[in-house]
């Protein structure tokens, strides 16, 4: 009988064998893509879009498996324990791979060590918006108010631990201004109160704020993306507003379990890169103002590690928890 040591050694030898996982032999059967959020969610819709193009490139069906819970961590943990053979993949996000382990006490995986970051997919920026009655025209106005009147500016978000909340914590950490955070059950509810004047300022996704900005119901002050966005060309970045350290994109990407063989990682990274270039994917992402990341494995892996470290530090400094 093969004991555990012999079995592990056999796996190691197999992983090192160039012929065992030649790119041409993978994949030979359907691939399961775990989406750690509910069917119909933004992540799920984009995952299914990518999956169709990825299936064409790999020549095998991509089966979507929605495993929901703990802000995506249930699905991520499942993939972290799957066989590292390229047949179980994860749509990971800034939450599952960057913030959940700092926010939740009982996450049973390491977002960096237990995965291989295959390829970045998309990024979605936040925009700092204010009620017009506050007469804020720049980010500097908000910061100055928060320093002169600590805790008196009502700053909404879609809930504790959301990207909007963490952008607020990062803004406070980097500037020393202090605001009164008011978490809602959803960003849409916070937006209703911002428009009504019950909130003063909030970070929100560009996708859900764009119409209100266009109609003059709220004032856009800055976006958290590295560069200006085509859908809001008149709105400066946080860096242009004088706070270059407040850069944040709620990103997503494809991940595999740790120890997935390098040839399979390369095959998957190339295939995802090709999928992102398809006209259907490009048009669909442009329609919802999502930015294609276009990060292959060599770039995406260090990016994920840096994001996990960055947001972990922000959360620790702020004391945020769930």
What's the token pair of residue 63? 């089966």
What's the token pair of residue 149? 């009147």
pLDDT in tens, 26-82: 999 999 999 999 888 878 888 999 999 999 999 999 999 999 998 899 999 999 999
Q: Give dist(CA 35, CA 55) in Å, integer.
A: 16
Mean pLDDT of all residues belonging to the chain: 89
Strand pairing category for 115-130 and 201-205: antiparallel
Under 8 Å between Cβ of 273 and 294: yes
pLDDT in tens, 126-175: 999 999 999 999 999 999 999 999 999 999 998 888 889 999 999 999 99
Q: Give dist(CA 297, CA 260) in Å, integer.
A: 12
Q: Give dist(CA 86, CA 15) in Å, integer.
A: 12
pLDDT in tens, 274-289: 999 999 998 888 877 7
For residue 118, give the 3-state DSSP assignment.
strand
Match 């056999």 to its residue by tokens: 10
């Amino acid at each position: 009988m093969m004991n555990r040591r012999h079995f592990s050694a056999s796996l190691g030898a197999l992983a090192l064998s160039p012929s065992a996982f030649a790119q041409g032999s993978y994949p030979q059967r359907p691939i399961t893509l775990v989406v750690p959020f509910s069917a119909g969610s933004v992540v799920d819709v984009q995952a299914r879009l990518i999956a169709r193009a990825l299936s064409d490139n790999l020549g095998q069906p991509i089966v979507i498996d929605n495993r929901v819970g703990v802000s995506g961590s249930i699905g991520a943990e499942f993939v972290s324990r799957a066989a590292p053979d390229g047949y179980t993949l994860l749509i990971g996000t800034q939450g599952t791979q960057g913030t959940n382990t700092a926010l939740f006490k009982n996450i049973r995986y390491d977002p960096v060590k237990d995965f291989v970051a295959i390829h970045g997919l998309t990024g979605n920026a936040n925009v700092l918006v204010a009620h017009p009655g506050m007469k804020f025209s720049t980010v500097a106005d908000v910061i100055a108010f928060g320093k002169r009147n600590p805790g008196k500016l009502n700053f909404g978000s879609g809930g504790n631990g959301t990207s909007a909340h963490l952008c607020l914590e990062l803004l406070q950490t980097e500037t020393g201004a202090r605001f009164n955070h008011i978490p809602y059950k959803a960003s849409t509810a916070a937006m209703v109160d911002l428009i009504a004047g019950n909130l003063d300022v909030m970070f929100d996704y560009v996708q859900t704020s764009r119409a209100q900005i266009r109609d003059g119901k709220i004032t856009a002050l800055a976006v958290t993306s590295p560069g200006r966005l085509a859908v809001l060309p008149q709105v400066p970045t946080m860096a242009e507003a004088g706070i270059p350290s407040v850069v944040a994109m709620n990103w997503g990407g494809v991940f595999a379990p740790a120890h997935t063989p390098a040839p399979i990682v390369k095959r998957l990274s190339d295939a995802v890169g090709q999928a992102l270039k398809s006209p259907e994917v490009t048009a669909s992402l442009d329609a919802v103002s999502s930015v294609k990341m276009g990060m292959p494995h060599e770039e995406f892996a260090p990016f994920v590690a840096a994001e996990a470290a960055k947001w972990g530090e922000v959360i620790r400094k702020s004391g945020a928890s769930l």
